[in-house]
């Protein structure tokens, strides 16, 4: 009998361990889906021109980074980046659409591929491809790395 219990105990322990792993995996997958929903809502609201609603999803102490040597490149606070968004809005009076075309989440990070479309005040059509790497904690976007074709944007804003 002792022999049978010794054989059964590790099996019972392993089954319990698998159940805990399944629960942890489900929690992690739920969190990742929630993070993807936050990223989706951000781009949807931005595209609709609801900037306040979009940026309500961004924490007040968030950091936003844009590459290159453009006037708005570098690391910005949320308040500083909202000033950039104000410039974007004035350049695109009919709005700038940001269409999230693909998304992957892992842990607190969401990687989003985005296509843009807008008619600039100078008459040029702006279509760019972006990659956003967002960090989302406690339901808010806390960090963004925004990659794009900076040459295409530079050519748009040049007279």
- Give how far Cα 57 sits from Cα of 40, 42, 90, Å: 11, 7, 22
Q: Which domains does the chain have, with CATH numbers?
A: 2-157 (3.10.450.50)
Q: Is 112 left (phi over 0), alpha (psi -120 to 50) or beta?
A: beta
Per DSSP, the three-state class of 133 is: strand
pLDDT digit string (tens) for the chain, length 159 residues = 554 445 555 554 555 555 556 676 666 667 678 999 999 999 999 999 999 999 999 999 999 999 988 888 999 999 999 999 998 899 999 999 999 999 999 999 999 999 999 999 999 999 999 999 999 999 999 999 999 998 877 787 776
């Amino acid at each position: 009998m002792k022999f049978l219990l010794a054989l059964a105990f590790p099996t019972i322990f392993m089954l319990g361990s698998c159940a805990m792993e399944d629960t942890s995996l489900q929690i992690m997958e739920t969190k990742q889906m929630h993070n993807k929903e936050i990223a989706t809502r951000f781009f949807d609201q931005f595209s609709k021109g609801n900037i306040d609603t979009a940026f309500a999803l961004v924490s007040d102490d968030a950091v936003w980074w844009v590459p290159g040597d453009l006037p708005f490149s570098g690391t910005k606070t949320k308040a500083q980046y909202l000033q950039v968004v104000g410039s974007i809005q004035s350049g695109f009076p009919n709005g700038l659409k940001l269409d999230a075309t693909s998304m992957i989440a892992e842990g607190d990070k969401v990687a989003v591929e985005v296509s843009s479309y807008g008619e600039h005040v100078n008459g040029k059509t702006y279509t760019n491809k972006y990659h956003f790497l967002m960090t989302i904690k406690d339901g808010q976007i806390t960090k963004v790395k925004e990659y794009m074709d900076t040459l295409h944007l530079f050519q748009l804003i040049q007279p």
